[in-house]
Structure 1
């Protein structure tokens, strides 16, 4: 999952790159994604 690794003035790049600029503004979006995924996975089912 690549969240927040869009193209900026220098374009997107891999994490282990001197030009990588972590997008702090997307932390809540990423955390929300994982929380909702876990909630969906752990949600009660109808027993099937």
Structure 2
């Protein structure tokens, strides 16, 4: 899976969890990737933890 896809999937899952609450269950956010600090930082600015 491309690094860009991993980042977008994790960000999308973060937004879904934040906006939909418990209406949906995110089962798999993508492969675990290390060193993705910029996306984590961007999402933390919106108060969403990925």
Alignment TM-score, normalising by the size of structure 1:
0.38
Q: Give the structure, 1 or 2, with the largest relative contact order (CA under 8 Å, sep 6 or more).
A: 2
Alignment TM-score, normalising by the size of structure 2:
0.37
Larger Rg: 1
Report which of the two has the higher share of helix: 2
